Chain A
Amino acid sequence: MGSVKAELLRLWKWPATWVLIGVWLVMTLTFGYVFNYLALNGGTNTRDLSQQQLISAMQPENVGAAVVRGLPMFGGAIILVLAALAVGSGYGWGTWKTTLTAGPRRVSAMAGTLGALGIVVVLLVALTFVVNLGASITIASLEGWDWSLPGLGVFQALGASLLIAAMWTGFGVFLGVVTKGPALAVGLGLMWAIVTENLLRGVGSLLGPVESLTKVLPGGSAGNLAGAVGGSGAPGVLTDLSGTTAALFLVGYVVFFVGAATLLKVRRDLV
């Protein structure tokens, strides 16, 4: 489909795509391996994590958990920024105007954007996996641990990662279309992903109904799914819901965000 090809071509050559993916990979490496490795070897004070826990977290076997735990909050925020920028800046650049007058129907144009963003986000998750696996194998070899490759369970963790990433992508696309610009979309999205849900969780400890609500908000659902497939020890990871429930909420969010964004895009005048 021409629309996907076109959109992929321009995302591929967009420096922001690679900057964001690069920043994310550096972050996941730093927080997942570098600091743990230093703590393990610097030795004296590993805080509340036992040596055993540190080693386990860095084992190649547990790379699935390492990938998924970063996504509910910080990884999600980066994906949201990517999606919000990709969709929102088209309004200021006037490229939506060019896109919507090129030929394909609006639904196809939107599907092209979503498809290409989807491919980029799958790539991001795949790269996260590869980089984390590389780091864990390197550390395990350096330290001379007995290690083995992850079992089939890793696919569950990767599937969960993709679902979480899809939700944040949809959220970003939705914000980009609703606000018709990159700045507000990114601002609101980051605020929501990093600040608002955490504040609500704080309030939730005082108010029961708010607490139940926070579990099923976008970030809450993502955190619960990550927790259910073995992620732990990262901000945003929760264990209040079953994996299935959390996954169903995430699917609901994806459908809502993508559906609402597409409907708006198709119906609204572009001026």
Chain B
Amino acid sequence: MIVTTEKLTKRYGDRAVVDEVSLSVRRGEVYGFLGPNGAGKTTTIRMLLGLVKPTSGTASVLGEAPGTPKALLKVGSLIEGPGFYPYLSGRDNLRVHAARRGVGRTHVEAALEQVDLVGASDEKFRRYSLGMKQRLGVAAALLGRPELLILDEPTNGLDPAGMADMRDLVRALAAQGQTVLLSSHLLGEVEEICDRVGVISQGRLVAESTVDQLRGDTVLLIRADPIEKAHVLIEGSTLHGDVLHVRETDAGALVRTLVHADVDVQEVRPLRRTLEEVFFEMTGAA
């Protein structure tokens, strides 16, 4: 287990912004921390990094207490946007950060290459576009090859191409076995790149499982003619207007049955609830 929390809670006044959250991130996975604005994602992450002290509950990061040098040196993070000196170049900013982390200059060049910023590395951070700033933030997080990468809404403010780049980067890192904790309010993003998700809403962790489990079973949608005949032929199917729904995974067998019975099959596709539907159900935001 890379990260575990036990009833982690943060109160501001009498409002629990993070409310007894118990989550776990496993080695090698991309964990999506999903929740709407103000759900408590950033606050939870701040507690994992020792920036904010929990009101109650405990957390352990790579077996260490959050915020201790032992934990921090093994974690690279980007929390709520990158924090760099505006008057320094991207490279100098990374050098400053590398000095703090105690890693050498070669790491700086490697990190710049990983996020594809080498060409702009001598420009002042102030002059970077939003996407470049965000990528520099990821580069800083990558310095020193941390065991765990914590990225708080890394695609925030990026255009679709920038988002796609960021996702590719995370996927590439994951392919090398990097453990990533990634927060997002974008369901598509989490669906696309995460192995497991924790859904947080109003400070509470309302679900934690794999993306598939969260969606539930696969339902097939069938469009055929005549539809009534198909309905009779396929056991357990339900008629929804002019299409059938059936909880079944072997689409090939279904089609063969229908074709043998002289039914015209026009369309067969999995009808999966999107994470979005699941999410709205759970967070009651719909």
Contact = CB atoms under 8 A, between A and B. Distances in A.
A101 B88 contact: no
A257 interface: no
Interface stretch (B27-35, B71-79, B190-198, B206-214): B71-79
Nearest to A97: B83
Contact of B87 (A2, A15, A105, A112): A15
Interface string B38-77: 0000000010011111000000000000001100110101
B101 interface: yes
Most chain B Cβ neighbours within 10 Å, of A2, A98, A104: A98
B268 interface: no
A270 B50 CA distance: 9
Interface string B79-118: 1111111111000100111011110000000000000000
A102 B86 CA distance: 18
A179 to B, nearest CB: 18
Contact of A271 (B46, B68, B81, B97): B46
B40 to A, nearest CB: 13
A94 interface: yes
A9 to B, nearest CB: 5
B85 A100 contact: no
Contacts of B81: 94
Given A269-B52, A269-B53, A271-B51, A93 B99 contact: no
Nearest to B79: A97
A99 B100 contact: yes
**Which are the 7 A-B pairs with shortest beta-carbon distances?**
A94-B83, A6-B99, A102-B100, A98-B83, A103-B73, A269-B52, A270-B51
Given A6-B99, A10-B92, A98-B82, 16 more contacts: A3-B100, A6-B96, A9-B92, A9-B96, A10-B88, A93-B85, A93-B86, A95-B83, A97-B51, A98-B84, A98-B97, A99-B100, A101-B49, A102-B72, A102-B100, A271-B51
Interface of A: 2-3, 5-7, 9-10, 13-15, 93-105, 109, 112, 269-271
